[in-house]
Amino acid sequence: MFSNTAYETLYQILGLELHAKFIEVITGEGFFKGLILLIFGLGFFMTTVKFISRYVPGSLVERRHLPLSKFVKVIACLFLGFAILRVGTNASVVDYQGKNWADNPELRRFDGPR
């Protein structure tokens, strides 16, 4: 059996509250949107550097030909990321008639050990 002092208990409670806030922020929609925008910015920057590398004198960057369609792909990936990574949306498994499998009495038998 554990025996905590008042200070240990206070710091433990504060740590648990801080941990709960971190989890709330990390799993929030704003965090995911920020992460997607950060990845988009990095991808767009790298695509731009590769695109203008053939016009930059010297040997700072590798000279390669990069078509403009790469920019379209990067922007399409941004919109795809926003469409797929939605926080708080519900997903359900449905059959071909559109009925939810959670309502199927045959599957309710397999809820686990009783």
pLDDT in tens, 22-69: 888 888 888 888 888 898 999 888 888 877 877 777 665 565 666 778
Task: Compute φ and ψ for 100, nearest 5 degrees.
Answer: -75, 135
Question: Which of 38-42, 74-78, 89-93, 98-102 shows the highest mean pLDDT?
Answer: 38-42
Distance, C-alpha 62 to centroid of its chain = 31
- Output 86 or 47, whichever has higher pLDDT: 47
CB atoms within 10 A of CB 78: 17
Q: Which residues contact 58 (CB under 8 A, 6 or more apart)?
A: none
The closest of 106, 47, 102 to 74, measured between CA atoms, is 47
Q: Which residues of 61-75 are buried (b: 16+ CB within 10 A; e: fewer)?
A: eeeeeeeeebeeebe
